[in-house]
Structure 1
Amino acid sequence: MTEHKGSGAPTARTGTRARRRALLLIFFLVGVGLASWVTRTPAIRDALAASTGEMGLVLFGLSIGSMTGILAAGPLVRRSGTKPVIAVSTGFVVAGLAVLGGFTALGAAPGAFAGLLLFGLGMGCSDVALNIEGAEVERLAARPLLPLLHGTYSAGTVLGSLLGLAFAHAGIGVGAHLAGVAVLGAAATAVAAPALPAGFGQERGATGRGIGVAARQQIALWSQPRIALIGCVVLGMALAEGSANDWLPLLMVDAHGFDPVLGALLFTAFAAAMTAGRFAGSGLVRRFGRAPVVRAGALCAGIGIALVIFTGSPAVAVAGVVLWGLGTSLGFPLAISAAGDGDGDSTARVSAVATAGYLAFLVGPPMLGFLGDHFGLRYAMIVVLVLVGCAAATASAVRAPARDANGEAMTDA
């Protein structure tokens, strides 16, 4: 029988609070790190003298690292537990920022590729482990928590984007900017990681499992209709978020004529809208239920993306950015919450859904760069619009499953 060591360890209220604070700090750190380089994307492109397609190749370093990290995260958590995986992979995030900044300052595209690869490796692995940890803390707290954790991440993106905007306006180079963020990130990781409990998510006998066993387990999970439909939700909503993170500043500069500083400011508006939506998420879920909130959010995001794609008015495009951010805000965290519902191996379900989400979040956007070379970046976003529509159509999958008389959860309205 599978044994999840530590799953019931920090049941005392003080232990759960310390665990939650550590997760909040690390989610915030990852958001700051991501936005710090995203808002400097125009400057990075100029320093590397890269075209849209060439920037897609540089971003492919993020994709390779992310794919490796998210696919390795589940087995690593089962082998070692979430604590060491989070600590080490967050260290990779910090190191990736430093490498990206240094090689951008040198104008070396291969080095920037390597920095994004390292950043992606750390982000992909840490985020899956963080969501596994967060779903367990949510279970212990017996109330919605993942929207708050992801809201803290979004607040980090707001701060990171504001810093990026300020540094760009002041003429501070990308290298110095990202090096400073890396130093602060290393200090925050050193403070937060010790508060996480050792052993949670670790399985007895996990070291003896072969790749074939793990693959069969994943196939068995995705053959479950509910998990497959939750995966559809998370694919669409995570791609909507990830495409904005990677391409929104350039999209608003190239398609709507904004200057780079205003492009970065609009990404800040997007991040602020996501933050507001996520901080409101727990109350919305308690009042309306998960499925209606996800469906309404997907429709809102779809309207916003359509406005950005099809309008010729910069003012209407700005309104679309805000709707895009608000609508995208809750899809990913509520899908993770849904994956954690029910009996059995919730860690495996959360890992599978989080992996699908981060694949869309981190791997999808570089593919949009290649489409953008052929059709224009604006029209490449039609792919995102279609997948967000699929998420709206399958939103009922995140409804809490009905339980018997001994259960506590109730099905959403």
Structure 2
Amino acid sequence: MNLARNSTITTWRNALFVVFMINGLSFSSWLARVPAIRDGLGISTSEVAALLFTGAIGAVTGLIFSSHVIAWLGQRRTILFFGLLGLVGLAAIGTSAQWLSSYPLALVAIIIAGAGNGIADVAMNVEGSSVEREISRSIMPWFHAFWSFGTVAGAAISAAMSFLGIGIGWHTLVTALALTPVLIFVCRFIPKSSSATQQDETKTTTTFAERLGVWKEPRTLAIGLIALGMAFAEGSANDWLALAMVDGRDFSNGQGALWFGFFTLGMLSGRIGGVYALDRFGRVRVLQYSAGLAFVGLALVILIAHPVVSAAGAVLWGLGSSLGFPVGMSAAADNPRGGAARVSAVATVAYGAFLIGPPLIGYVGAQIGILGALWIVVALISLSFFAAPAAKPPLTTAVNA
């Protein structure tokens, strides 16, 4: 009986690994090709910022209601439906940029992709917290490692497409068509309920008022600040690192995508090793060390033009940014009662920075250059450092510190 249950949980966990990877690959497939989107639409840096900002508004609006969407549809159906919606948006981004050269259609496509991927991402994290409770170990960084693996793969494919001269339209369309059947297949192995057992489902079900009430909890809001700072660091790299290297260091589009790949490689490495670091040092120390690495890495990217040092800085930036969001998810879910709503609240706060923050970099960058605007990110990383003690587990919770 235990063997069958363990097999079910393992299959559930592995299916979720693939879902995270698909989400990351879809996300980075167009973000690594922001220069191609800009060139296809014939727009300026400030107009790129406007494109990202307006899309972010739609995505964040969806995120605000994500916990209620999950309560209505269930986690599996939310992951599937909004994951597919994100793939539709991905294909439409490339189509609107390469073949239609339509700014309004690109705007709508980015709203669709952002809302789809964002809401699916919240549901994925809630599902990941359910897996953690089943196995009594914080493995959220591993889920996010698969997301980072997807972004590394997406960035590598994007760099290859750029070097080979393949347009973003064919690139995004083929990617979306290839990922769709994979997502449909793996979602079959995610339980219909929010956890593997009916008992846990009853324990974690909340009312509408209870889901709203988590926004008044000081610890939840403080955890949100941790995730906010690190999500800002991650989101700024996703949206602007490639373009910063192209415009600020006179790199080619392919080289800019490669630097984004260095960043995502750092993210992946940090998330693979993050579980073991958390086991040994605990959440608070790991979060503070991570903030320090991100600070140093970002400063190197901004200040040093030498390509080897700059590449090392991009890796450190990714390494330092890797654990803030997944550890925030684990901390939010310490208490099973209302854990889904808290995870959704922290994810919403974090993705507010993740989506709205980078366009701010664009607006400032239009005035002083993108590299100079990245000092804003340094300030937000400092915020995460000082908020880190909020991630310490409550004394009544048997979760690794």
- Identify whether the pair has TM-score above 0.5, normalized to the shorter chain: yes
Q: 1:49 aligns with which of 42, 47, 58?
A: 42
Distance 1:395 1:155 in 2: 26
State the match for 1:179 in structure 2.
173
What SS class does the counterpart of residue 200 from structure 1 fall into?
coil
Equivalent residue of 2:65, what SS?
A: helix
| Cα distance in 1, alignment partners of residues 58 and 14 from structure 2 | 28
How far apart are residue 308 of structure 1 and its match? 1.8
Aligned twin of 2:17: 24
Distance in 2 separating the partners of 1:183 and 1:288: 43
Tell me how far apart the structure 1 counterparts of residues 45 and 103 of structure 2 sit (CA, whole Å). Answer: 13
Whether 1:109 and 2:103 are equivalent positions in the alignment is: yes
Q: How many residues align?
A: 392
Distance of aligned partners of 1:63 and 1:310 in 2 relative to their CA distance in 1, 3 Å threshold = same
Residues 268, 390 of structure 1: alpha-carbon distance in 2 compared, 3 angstrom cutoff: same
Q: Secondary structure at the match of 1:402?
A: coil
CA contact (8 A) 1:402 1:409 kept: no
**Separation in structure 2 between the aligned mates of residue 203 and residue 383 of structure 1, nearest angstrom:** 43
For 2:357 and 2:41, the matched residues in 1 are separated by 22
Q: Could you tell me which of 142, 146, 157 is aligned with 1:148? A: 142
* Mapped partners of 1:57, 1:18: distance in 2: 42
Are 2:244 and 1:244 aligned?
no
Pick from 278, 284, 288: which aligns with 1:285?
278
1:5 corresponds to: none
Give 3-state SS (helix, strand or coil) of 2:398's partner.
Answer: coil
**Pair 1:343–1:199, CA change in 2 (3 A):** closer
The residue number in structure 1 matching 2:398 is 408
Letter in 1 for 2:45: T
| Letter paired with 1:335 | G
Where 1:134 maps in the other structure, the secondary structure is: helix
Quick check: 1:22–1:192 contact (8 Å CA) kept in 2? yes
Deviation at residue 159 of structure 1 after TM alignment: 0.7
Shift of 1:338: 0.7
Please give the per-residue CA displacement for 1:199-230, whole angstroms capped at 9, x wherever unaligned.
328889x9995xxx47xx53x42432222221
Cα distance in 2 for residues equivalent to 1:375 and 1:203: 54
1:409 and 1:120 map into 2 onto residues whose CA distance is: 32
Q: CA deviation at 1:60?
A: 2.5
Answer yes or no: is the 8 Å Cα contact 2:130–2:194 preserved in 1. no
What residue number does 1:70 align with? Answer: 63
Q: What's the counterpart of residue 7 of structure 1?
A: none
The within-5 A match list for 1:76-225 is 76-105=69-98, 106-200=100-194, 209=208, 213=209, 217-218=211-212, 220-225=213-218
Q: Contact 1:80–1:199 (CA<8 Å) still a contact in 2?
A: no
Aligned letter for 1:227? T
1:298 aligned to which of 291, 296, 310? 291
Name the CA shift for 1:203/1:97 in 2 (closer, same or farther; >3 Å).
Answer: farther
Indicate the RMSD between aligned Cα atoms, in angstroms. Answer: 2.1
Contact 1:31/1:154 (CA < 8 Å) preserved in 2?
yes
Percent identity, aligned pairs only, is 38
Matching residue of 1:269: 262
Contact 2:162/2:253, CA 8 A, preserved across alignment:
no
Gaps of 5+ in 2: 196-200
Q: Which moved more, 1:223-232 or 1:319-328?
A: 223-232
Equivalent residue number for residue 12 of structure 1: 5
Q: Distance in 2 between matches of 1:32 and 1:409?
A: 31
Distance 1:99 1:78 in 2: 29
Q: Partners in 2 of 1:88 and 1:61 — Cα distance?
A: 23
The corresponding residue for 2:198 is none
User: Quick one: distance in 2 between partners of 1:61 and 1:119?
Assistant: 12
Once the two structures are TM-superposed, the CA of residue 315 in structure 1 deviates from its matched residue by 3.5
SS in 2 for 1:107: coil
Of residues 299, 302, 322 in structure 2, which corresponds to 1:329?
A: 322
Does the CA-based 8 Å contact 1:61-1:114 persist in structure 2?
no
8 Å contact kept, 2:86–2:114: yes
Distance of 2:207 and 2:128 partners within structure 1: 27
Q: CA deviation at 1:295?
A: 0.7
Q: Deviations over 1:163-189 (max 9, x none)?
A: 111111111111000001101111111
TM-score normalised by L of structure 1: 0.90
The separation in 2 between residues aligned to 1:273 and 1:311, in whole angstroms, is 18
Cα displacement (A) at 1:91: 0.7
Q: Deviations over 1:84-124 (max 9, x none)?
A: 11110001111001111111112111111111111001011
